[in-house]
Structure 1
Amino acid sequence: MLSVEKQMLFLLSKADELETQDMIRIYEKRGYSAPYIRNGLSRLKKDRYVISPSRSAYRITEAGRTFIRTINRKPEHYTLSWDGCWHLVLTSFPETDRKRRDQLRADLLQTGFGQLHAGVYISPWPYREELGELLRKHEAERYATVFSGRLEHGEAPRDIAAKVWPLADTAQMYEEKWRWFSEEFKPILLKAAGNAADDAKKMETDPLELFILYLELGEQINELYLIDPMLPEELLPEDWSAQRILRQLTECMAQIKAAIPHDSAYSRYVN
């Protein structure tokens, strides 16, 4: 899933149902075309995250809400202690079901699992609710075996993690997002806020402009949520800076959210 699609799903989780034109009006302000937004909504419908009760409206499904909860809860794993237990998913699909296999694989990786071997996915976190929903979504229960256990022999856990997850690429993505935030986004935010430093209480600007900035920063954070497995400290490189960067980005997003007036038309999308 693209980060902008995840964001559209988030807006639907707040509004429950939205007219297509409302979504288009919001995202045209961010430079996205109407066909792009319609295609994104169509992909969400194909993935069963939304339904279309009428030709001009979309409504989030329970699967969509579960996905939003899953992705938005991922950062909590940075605060948890690991018990040393690994959680594995073994899959075996017939060749005639390659499409289903590939779709499940993509969802498992996005949830936070890593691919240990062909058809074998591993995570330090159980993801019980999320895994159950994915297997139901893809009707893959009969093709999957799930179990947990401890590593008795073999490589050190940190070495396994370095091979299973693209942590170097993830770290590079965080650094790129931080440069974008520092060099491009923050100057625009300060200008919009009347150079009022970082104090959201002093921000006095157009609610729509604040909402667009909220969406822009949120989309960048969403990209990180989707690619970062958010592993425990025991599995990460010692110089891992993702938590610090993510914390600062989300703190800024919270400040923008607090500055959007509660009586504005955009408040329902952020509260």
Structure 2
Amino acid sequence: MQEIPTRVLVDALVRADDTVDCGELYAVAGRLGMSDQQVRLTIKRLTADGRFVQEGRGRRAVLRSTSTARRSFEPDVEHLTLMYSQDAGLAPWDGLWHLVGFAVPERDRLARASLREALLRLGGAPVQAGLYVSPHPWERDVRREAGALELLDHLTFLTTRDLRTGYVDHPLNLARHWWPLKEVAEGYERLADLATDRLAQLAEGGLGETELLTVAIELAAAFTEATEPDPLLPPELLPPSWPGVHARDLVARCWSLLLADRQPGEPMLFSAYAGVVALITSTPD
């Protein structure tokens, strides 16, 4: 069973009117192995933090969201577009490496640490101290992150087709050297295992509303967990039979079945993944 934090579960059940039905919340939480006490404590913390307002008591209560921030399960459309375009062979690599170098004074070490985190989040890899690389044209995003940290003056951008580290110069070997591809692949293998099992359940049919919600949330959580650390390297830089392609296809097939009988008032999670399925089905093979 996919392990999901209770806070994340609450986030996943927010509907278009910014409410969470607590009866639904307790029912899905129970299927995921969470106790009622766990749910009550989470609701108490979320309301104390000001993220939700509770109306009513117990399972008949309604939580009303006070936040307009992007939900933890809401897919990043730009990220997904690149992901599935690469899977379909529509985004070939041009062989160009994009590098960012920086030398930030010690007095700005906290901002420097935040910049490093941002570069990793954007799919970059450290080549050596103060030098990061990506196969993607990430300059716009890096400038945005560095500008927010007031570090743009400390950055240098360059591109090259001739890159080596030590004796390693083949792009496949460089990618294996710089990015944790083994760990990313293992994450996709776990996602594929879950999606294979849930696809069989969905294909068999007969699942109730609570069961369908549970499957949807498990899939969304596992998809997020597998894709967030993925730098989305072009296929030219990945080992043959990269498990990410198969896992993402299985998830898309699961969501096609989940969305086949959509109900009014369902959580926004369903609308978000409807966009994912639309993106995939509009991408030619």
Q: Settle same-fold status: TM greater than 0.5.
A: yes
Shift of residue 89, structure 1, vs aligned partner: 1.7
Contact 2:13 / 2:267 at 8 angstroms: preserved in 1?
Answer: no
Shift of residue 90, structure 1, vs aligned partner: 1.5
Shift of residue 165, structure 1, vs aligned partner: 0.3
Contact 1:161 / 1:235 at 8 angstroms: preserved in 2?
Answer: yes
Q: After superposition, where does 1:54-203 map in structure 2 within 5 Å?
A: 57-61=65-69, 68-76=76-84, 78=86, 79=89, 80-151=91-162, 155-182=169-196, 185-186=198-199, 190=201, 193=202, 196-197=203-204, 203=205
Contact 2:192 / 2:246 at 8 angstroms: preserved in 1?
Answer: no
Larger Rg: 2
1:223 to 216, 222, 225: 225
Contact 2:124 / 2:132 at 8 angstroms: preserved in 1?
Answer: yes
Shift of residue 36, structure 1, vs aligned partner: 5.6
In structure 2, the CA distance between the partners of 1:68 and 1:238, relative to structure 1 (3 Å rule), is closer
Whole-angstrom CA distance in 1 between matches of 2:261 and 2:249: 19
Contact 2:51 / 2:67 at 8 angstroms: preserved in 1?
Answer: yes
Paired residues, number: 247
SS at structure 2 position matched to 1:60: coil
Contact 2:12 / 2:217 at 8 angstroms: preserved in 1?
Answer: no
Shift of residue 177, structure 1, vs aligned partner: 2.6
Whole-angstrom CA distance in 2 between matches of 1:257 and 1:106: 36
Q: Does 1:270 align with 2:281?
A: no
Query: Gaps spanning 5+ residues in structure 1: where?
Result: 46-50, 198-202
Q: Deviations over 1:139-183 (max 9, x none)?
A: 43233333323226661111111111011222222223323334x
TM-score, normalised to structure 1's length?
Answer: 0.70
Q: Deviations over 1:57-111 (max 9, x none)?
A: 443358x9x9934443441352310111111122222223333222332232222
User: How large is the RMSD of aligned CA atoms in angstroms?
Assistant: 4.2
In structure 2, the CA distance between the partners of 1:74 and 1:28, relative to structure 1 (3 Å rule), is farther
Contact 2:127 / 2:133 at 8 angstroms: preserved in 1?
Answer: yes
Whole-angstrom CA distance in 2 between matches of 1:133 and 1:219: 28
1:247 to 239, 246, 249: 249
Identity of aligned residues (%): 23
Structure 1 residue aligned with 2:60: none
Contact 2:164 / 2:174 at 8 angstroms: preserved in 1?
Answer: no
Shift of residue 270, structure 1, vs aligned partner: 1.8
In structure 2, the CA distance between the partners of 1:208 and 1:21, relative to structure 1 (3 Å rule), is closer
Structure 1 residue aligned with 2:235: 233
In structure 2, the CA distance between the partners of 1:143 and 1:69, relative to structure 1 (3 Å rule), is farther
